[in-house]
Amino acid sequence: MPELWQLSVSEAADLLRRREISAVELTRAHQERIAQVEGNVRAFVTTLDDQALRDAERLDQRRSEGEQLGPLAGIPIAIKDNLCTRGVTTTCSSRILEHFTPPYDATVVARLHEAGAVILGKTNLDEFAMGSSTENSAFFPTRNPWDLGRVPGGSSGGSASAVAAGEAMVALGSDTGGSVRQPGALTNTVALKPTYGRVSRFGLVAFASSLDQIGPFARSARDAALLLQAIAGHDPFDSTSVDAPVPDYAAALSGDIKGLRVGVPAEYFVEGVEPGVRQAVEEAIETLKAQGAEVGECSLPHTRYGVAAYYIIAPAECSANLARYDGVKYGFALRGEADDLIDFVSKTRAHGFGAEVKRRIMLGTYALSSGYYDAYYLQAEKMRTLIKQDFDQAFEQFDVLVGPTSPTVAFELGAKTADPYAMYLNDVFTIPANLAGIPGISIPGGFSEGLPVGLQLLAPAFEEARLLRVADAFERVTDYHTRWPEALNAKRGARKRR
């Protein structure tokens, strides 16, 4: 019998339904696991110890009264700290929001409450989700459970590490340029960025509104499917959320990928991709082939312009979105030291924001300013269209595209903090999906010298079910997703295979 914190959502849901375990026991097991490893991992900004136990108790009560509950009822979950939680601080790992307590829940959080999920806490991120390593958190860096000297990726590094370390069964993150998929790749978790509009962004603290999406972290495709099911669908509070039926994601996991047309973009196997990553991904593609997929090469010719276009568009939108943190309405305010209003706002922001956030605000303000708008912002938007057209063309021939999620495995803490450009390049394969609005998933695809390698699958808009089906089929013939990080002295392979 595996430890309770090692169970999958479906296993735990089964045991809960049969009343063989209680939600309180399951929550306690995770809290004990947190107590055991959190000193090393540091995934959480806030833990909700008593509140989580009370939620679990209430859930057990409802079940004992005979209420029929869904698969997430009683499941312990972690939430990225840029998702608003009523009555619980939502810091974005920024000094400027350190003491901000939202008066409302994000729609995804409200839906999780309805589904009966137990929120264990709020997870660390790069400040305002800007970064690829979680080192831009104003509070502390999160460590990678696979090697505590390395980063978990970012910006949703806290959520990724929490799931990888068994501190939470599943978690939510946000992905603007790769912030769910890249940490997923670096921590051996299943990490899905849905189609733009599939999940409501209401209550997600905005970074770049035309790119942001909320997505699940899990240790299997099935668990990711169950979590996506709970959060997907139209929300009148988010005008960009799409009013289209949500398919049954778990039902799509047939295990069958015979005849699936898999495209391998030549541009995703270029210099800069570590040999160990390339090798693992090539082997994974062979595995898909052996399962009956038809693999062929394709081209996404504008890939190399993605990072440049993103670093105009995302900062431009962030400079507008972050203008609201002025010390007046909410958040941190530098009182008593300012000569006038301008001085007050400027000192508050100078103090409240970290270096990377300031860099983005300045970049974005510059790119949008009169005289530069045409040269930068407009050009970047045109490039965005070309990148989208690359995908449209590729999907005429292929059902999914496959390649590495990240060009490297987890890097050492501090390795890229002095060189923002090197950090930005880590997102070269994840950014295009955000620019095009299509869904992408990173799944455990192998290992390179003991560190996880993520396999990224991309599909046309609203084909999350297809991504999950391929991910699940791959899991049925591989065991990467079942391994536990030894750095935390977990038992390797202790989790049951389905």
CA distance 333 to 337: 10
Site string for ligand GLN, 309-328 (x = CB under 6 A): -----x--------------
Cβ closest to ligand GLN, residue 360 vs residue 481: 360
Q: Which residue in 309, 247, 285 sits closest to 456, CA to CA?
A: 285
Between 175 and 390, whose beta carbon lies closer to ligand GLN? 175
Q: Which of these ranges, 100-108, 169-177, 286-294, 471-479, lies near ligand GLN under the rule CB under 6 A?
A: 169-177
Site for ligand GLN in 329-358 (CB under 6 A): none
> Residue 307, interface with ligand GLN (CB under 6 A)?
no
Check residue 11 for interaction with ligand GLN (CB under 6 A): no
The least distance separating ligand GLN from the CB of residue 181, rounded to whole angstroms, comes to 9
Distance CA 240, CA 237 (A): 9
Q: Which two tokens stand for residue 423?
A: 């950090």
Q: How many Å apart are CA 210 and CA 190, to the nearest integer? A: 24
Q: Does 405 bind ligand GLN (CB under 6 A)?
A: no
User: How many Å from the N-terminal Cα to the C-terminal Cα in the chain?
Assistant: 14
Name the minimum Å distance from CB 129 to ligand GLN: 4
Of 99-107, 137-145, 174-182, 476-484: span binding ligand GLN (CB under 6 A): 174-182
Q: Is 61 helix (H, G, I), strand (E, B) or coil?
A: helix
The Cα–Cα gap between 493 and 86 comes to 38
Q: Among residues 232, 156, 206, 169, which one has the least CA distance to residue 442? A: 156
Query: Which position among 81, 135, 175, 472 is part of the footprint of ligand GLN (CB under 6 A)?
Result: 175
Positive or negative: CA dihedral 134, 140, 146, 148:
positive
Beta bridge partners of 83: 204
Scan residues 413-452 and list those touching ligand GLN (CB under 6 A): 427
Stretch that binds ligand GLN, among 8-16, 173-181, 248-256, 267-275 (CB under 6 A): 173-181
Site membership for ligand GLN, residue 177 (CB under 6 A):
yes
Catalytic residue ranges: 80, 155, 179
Task: Decide: residue 98, CB within 10 A, 0-12 exposed, 13-18 middle, 19+ buried.
Answer: middle
| Residue among 45 and 465 whose Cβ is closer to ligand GLN | 45
Query: Which residues pair with residue 452 across a beta bridge?
Result: 447
Residues with Cβ within 8 Å of residue 322, at least 6 apart in sequence:
128, 353, 357, 361
Lay out the site mask for ligand GLN across 107-136 (x = CB under 6 A, - = otherwise).
----------------------xxxx----
- Dig out the tokens for 237 from the structure: 């509070």
Instruction: State CA 83 to chain mean position distance.
Output: 12
CA dihedral (220, 225, 231, 235) positive or negative:
positive
Binding status of residue 178 toward ligand GLN by CB under 6 A:
yes
**Residue 251: phi, psi to the nearest 5?**
-65, -20
Total number of residues binding ligand GLN (CB under 6 A)?
13
Cβ closer to ligand GLN: 430 or 482?
430
To ligand GLN, the closest distance from the beta carbon of 141 in angstroms equals 15
The residue (of 91 and 132) whose beta carbon lies closer to ligand GLN is 132
Q: What does the binding site for ligand GLN look like in residue numbers (CB under 6 A)? A: 129-132, 155, 175-179, 207, 314, 427
